[in-house]
Chain A
Amino acid sequence: MVVNVSNLSPRLRQLGLVAVLFGAIPAGLALMGGGYPFQVGITALIFVTLAVSLNLVTGTAGLLSLGHAGFFGVGAYAAALAATKLHWPFLLTLPLAGIVAAALGVIVALPTMRLISIYFAVATLGVGEMIHVSLLNWVSFTRGPMGIRSIPPIEILGLDLSGVIGGYYVAATVAALAIFAVHRLTHSYYGNALRSLREDDQCSAAMGLNPVRLKIEAFAVSCAIAGMAGAVYAHTASFISPDSFRFEESILILAMIVVGGLGSLPGAVIGAVLLIVLPEVLRGIGDFRMIAVGVFMFLSILFLPKGLLGEASAIGLARRQLGAAWRGDIGAGWK
């Protein structure tokens, strides 16, 4: 039933995807020439990481979060402040950003996880705004609207990764790790537990799951990944200010996973790449480019309401092709 790659084992297919990310894509970008394709690639990979992390919470666990850019910002500021004030290297600021964002995520999650659907969405909307306003007005700590500049570029164990190509590989590594982590989480019994929460949390509680705990865990993992994306952004951009972490960014990340397919991991990747790359490749049409992007989003939702790659087919793909939890020949369902 599989077309070409049917003779390869899931492990080899996974390696193939890694080879594309680290070999074929950068080679293609290099052929286009210059730093611009790589810069777009870095931004796309940062947003792939963000979309993948939001997909765990919003797609799989069904908690509509409208404050994801806030946690992205917390990670970026944690990394930027640690790097500029304490002179920490990227290898330390990256986990720090994840830990700080996750800790804040848990603090936010404790009171809000008992909320469902639109009430949770509005609560996260409020949290996102609180984070943005704090970054803007806590001038003594964050420098407020002045932003943080001269964030040192990435250097790992003496290896200078300050250029766009180095930045691409760092962003690709973080994105690959995020995808792998979320892939293992969502395509497992754990992921099924999250999905059962999304469908009916009372029923899953009756089956012996602890919904509040599961939601907090998923939210913390998601925030940690978003925070690490923030660290990559801070170190590759060298200058950050609160206007990179506004509500619009949360909506952009949400749009990515909806266009790609809610609950679908490959969909989140495709959605993020499309919504970052499309506005850049459409620069040629000038004033109409954002309208074209809007039309694209509108049509994709109109004709593919489940996303470019819907959840059901994405899970089938992950199981059959990438060796997640169950394979097609075993059949989906309880093992």
Chain B
Amino acid sequence: MRPEFKILKGFAFAAAALACGLSAKPAAAADPLLLGYQMPLSGDRSQYGEMFRNAAEIKLKAFNAAGGVDGTPVQIVYEDSKNDPKEAIAIAQKFSDNPRILGVLGDFSSTVAMAAGEVYAKSGVAQLSQTASHPDYTKVSKWQFRNITTQAYEGPFTSKWMRESGAKTVAIIAIQNDWGISAAEEFAKAFAAQGGKVTATEYFNPGTRDFRSILTKIGRAKPDAIYLCMFYEEGASALQQAKQLNVKSAMFSTSSLYSPKLIELGGDSVNGLRMASTFVPENPAPEVQTFVSEYKAAYNDAPNMFAAQAYDAVGIMLDALKAVGPKATRAQLRDALAKTNNYPGVTGKTSFDPETREPAKELAKMEVKGGKFVVLP
């Protein structure tokens, strides 16, 4: 084949691909109000996107069944970002271009959400992420919101609880990464400010399973409590070894230790562990039980914290949309979001600070009792 023809063939291919894409655009149906949701639906984070979409569908269905926005139904347009910043930017442009999309949810990871956020900041679309916990995320522009609390919020909460339970001294064991460092620092700052004393802060490398040397070292000062900033894999080992070493301090941890696997791995030794929590499927509150049973019925799987975050993010967005009515503009929706106050979700009551757009939540107190997570009243 002559090279000229090969080139032409290549272009024809591209043109055909483009034509397919254009015709694949959804025809403009007049009625429903639109929201965009960008999330990883393929690639190595797709399990999270899958959960977000599942949870969002349940919430949306219930909202539309209850009458939608003054009788107008709402529809969510899902786009797959692959958790890839360059795809997220393209999606953000796509959503911004569509004047019918009033607000956007997502993305999953902070850096991807922020890359898209720069586009939403320029085009003026409110973006609500269910999971972006980067300290700078809400500083991108006045259009960024999130409904996940950060360690800057959880640390002081657990610290106060610890002080109320009578602990005067505490030792911290934290995982050596950006999250662990910030969790330990936020907690230590709050505990000192509330009049307590941090006797030691010990970091360990991710993957560590032997905490005996750390426990022996911090045990010498006999702290009233030990605060664990880690995940369930390490938490189970640390708690077992603390029991073997007969450490008497009260055990507290970050909410990240919450997982049925913790009890499976740790057995008896995790009893008595206390932590703050946003979402526990065992929570007897009616809204949580409705969500859990509906999720189980629809997807034959128990929802976890990620699904719950998405469920509430969609709920907050829909509530704001309802507040401004079917003729809402993007700016009105943003202002309504900023006014979110005590939204009664499955992860607790969420309020947004109108200035910083940071969420505040009523966290639940939880304790492991008899091999079960129990929400304390």
A residues adjacent to B (C-beta < 8 A):
1-3, 32-36, 38-40, 43, 139, 144-147, 149, 162, 164, 233, 237-241, 243-244, 266, 270, 273-274, 277-287, 289-290, 308-310, 313-314, 316-317, 321
Contact = CB atoms under 8 A, between A and B. Distances in A.
16 contacts: A34-B96, A39-B89, A149-B136, A162-B122, A239-B140, A243-B109, A274-B13, A274-B14, A274-B17, A277-B17, A277-B21, A282-B20, A282-B24, A283-B24, A309-B3, A316-B3
A39 B93 contact: yes
B327 interface: no
Contacts of A314: 3
B375 to A, nearest CB: 33
A317 B4 contact: yes
A277 B42 contact: no
A111 B109 CA distance: 38
A285 B17 contact: no
Choose among B13, B84, B109, B111 the residue with the greatest number of A CB atoms under 10 Å from its CB. Answer: B111
A100 to B, nearest CB: 21
Contacts of B178: 139, 144-146
Contact of B85 (A237, A281, A284): A237
Contact of A290 (B82, B83, B134): B82
A32 B277 CA distance: 48
B24 A36 contact: no
Contact of B21 (A241, A283, A287): A283
B94 A36 contact: yes
B4 A241 contact: no
A173 to B, nearest CB: 20
A238 B114 CA distance: 9
Contacts of B97: 33-36
Interface residues of B, number: 51
Contact of B42 (A1, A164, A290): A290
Contacts of A279: 87
Contacts of A273: 14
A282 B82 contact: no
Contacts of A317: 3-4, 7
Given A239-B117, A317-B4, A277 B14 contact: yes
Nearest to A33: B97
A38 B41 CA distance: 24
Given A43-B86, A279-B87, A308 B3 contact: no
Given A144-B178, A241-B111, A316-B3, A39 B21 contact: no
Choose among A149, A274, A287 the residue with the greatest number of B CB atoms under 10 Å from its CB. Answer: A149
A207 B13 CA distance: 42
A134 B1 CA distance: 48
A38 B93 CA distance: 9
A318 to B, nearest CB: 9
Contact of A281 (B24, B123, B140): B24
Nearest to B42: A290
B139 to A, nearest CB: 8
Given A43-B86, A237-B118, A309-B7, A281 B17 contact: yes
B22 to A, nearest CB: 7
Given A241-B85, A309-B10, A285 B24 contact: yes
Given A2-B4, A237-B85, A281 B20 contact: yes
Main secondary structure of the interface of B (DSSP, over half): helix
Contacts of A274: 13-14, 17
Given A39-B94, A43-B89, A309-B7, 4 more contacts: A239-B85, A313-B1, A313-B2, A317-B3
Contact of B86 (A35, A164, A244, A308): A244
B334 to A, nearest CB: 19
A88 B2 CA distance: 48
Contacts of B83: 243
A35 B114 contact: no
Contacts of B3: 309, 313-314, 316-317
Q: Top 3 A-B pairs ranked by shortest CB distance?
A: A281-B21, A284-B24, A34-B97
Contacts of A3: 4
B193 interface: no
Given A147-B114, A270-B10, A287 B42 contact: yes
A241 B114 CA distance: 10
Contact of B93 (A164, A266, A321): A164
A284 B22 CA distance: 9
B220 interface: no
Contacts of B136: 146, 149
B312 interface: no
Interface string B1-19: 1111011011001100110
A321 B8 CA distance: 14
Contacts of B84: 244
Contacts of A283: 21, 24, 79-80
B115 interface: yes
Contacts of B98: 34
B43 interface: yes
Nearest to B15: A28
A277 B43 contact: no
A162 B118 CA distance: 12
B17 A43 contact: no
Contacts of B21: 277, 280-284
A43 B84 CA distance: 12
Contacts of A240: 85, 115
B93 A277 contact: no
B112 A149 contact: no
A243 B24 contact: no
Choose among B6, B85, B87 the residue with the greatest number of A CB atoms under 10 Å from its CB. Answer: B6
Contacts of A266: 7
Contact of A243 (B42, B89, B112, B119): B112
Contacts of B43: 290
B6 A308 contact: yes
A147 B18 contact: no
B54 to A, nearest CB: 13
A252 B255 CA distance: 38
A287 B79 CA distance: 10
Contacts of B139: 149
Given A273-B14, A287-B41, A34 B93 contact: yes
